[in-house]
């Protein structure tokens, strides 16, 4: 019965989509309830992608800044990424699951710099403060991805000391999409380039000032110099 009902609904939706294509160049004369629902579906999809893109780009920025300040972490993450993808010669989604250390880097980044520091609605929960609470975290102000290696703490909201995406009924519905949107760009950046700071700036002097709002962004854009990995390989072979 359930399968029959689903087929009927799918047929109705497809009929409305087909009619919309036919009337694409004509003025709409009538819209029923299904047409309205399909419009809302398109808008919600756009909103999810737009919101996810902004918070993910901010997280990538924070992760790169933290790794540049912590060269040991950068080296370890870069070695892992290049070991996984060197045979392929490119980064792809299929290999992301093998990047255990990079996943820990992402978790540690979101612990210190959650994209949404205050979880709404109703009574606000300060996810930013929870992630830095010394009752739950050893050296809470230090960037240590190793704390998540072999740990069962994840993004699902089961561990209330770590809720960058919220928890319970109001947990972010786009966790998988959001996390992949952080992991994949980071893997690209770490695989294809080495990174250094300009103008003799020291790593420990990198400005990490936060700009608070609906999301937490870096006050200043991260300014770094990329060195192509292919050039590094050629130079090492010539040497």
Residues flagged as binding site: 172
* Of 98, 100, 97, 113, the residue nearest 64 (C-alpha): 113
Number of Cβ within a 10 Å radius of residue 124? 10
Take residue 1 and report the two structure tokens written for it: 């019965």
- The candidate with the shortest Cα–Cα distance to 203, out of 59, 64, 110, is 64
CA distances to 106, 155, 179, 218 from 140, in Å: 16, 18, 22, 19
Task: Please give the helix or strand (H or E) that residue 217 lies within, else none.
Answer: strand 217-218
Helices 33-69 & 2-22 angle (0-180, nearest 10): 90
Which letter does DSSP use for residue 92 in this model?
-
Q: How far is CA 95 from the centre of its chain?
A: 16
Residue 228 and residue 188 in contact, taking contact as beta carbons nearer than 8 Å:
no
- Residues annotated in the binding site for heme, as ranges? 172
């Amino acid at each position: 019965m359930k399968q029959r009902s689903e087929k009927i609904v799918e047929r109705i939706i497809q009929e409305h989509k087909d009619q919309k294509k036919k009337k694409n160049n004509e003025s709409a004369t009538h819209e029923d309830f299904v047409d309205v629902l399909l419009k809302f579906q398109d808008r919600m999809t756009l909103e999810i992608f737009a919101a996810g893109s902004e918070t993910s780009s901010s997280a990538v920025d924070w992760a790169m800044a933290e790794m540049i300040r912590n060269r040991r972490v950068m080296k370890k993450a870069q070695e892992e990424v290049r070991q996984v993808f060197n045979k392929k010669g490119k980064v792809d989604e299929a290999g992301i699951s093998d990047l255990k250390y990079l996943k820990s880097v992402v978790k540690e980044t979101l612990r210190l710099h959650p994209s949404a520091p205050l979880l709404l609605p109703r009574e606000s929960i300060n996810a930013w403060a929870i992630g830095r609470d010394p009752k739950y975290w050893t050296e809470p102000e230090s960037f240590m991805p190793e704390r998540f290696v072999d740990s069962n703490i994840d993004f699902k909201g089961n561990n209330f000391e770590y809720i960058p995406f919220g928890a319970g009924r109001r947990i972010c519905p786009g966790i998988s999409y959001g996390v992949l949107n952080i992991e994949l760009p980071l893997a690209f950046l770490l695989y294809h380039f080495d990174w250094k700071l300009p103008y003799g700036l020291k790593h420990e002097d990198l400005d990490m000032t936060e700009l608070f709002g609906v999301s937490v962004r870096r006050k200043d854009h991260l300014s770094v110099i990329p060195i192509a990995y292919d050039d590094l390989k050629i130079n090492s072979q010539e040497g």
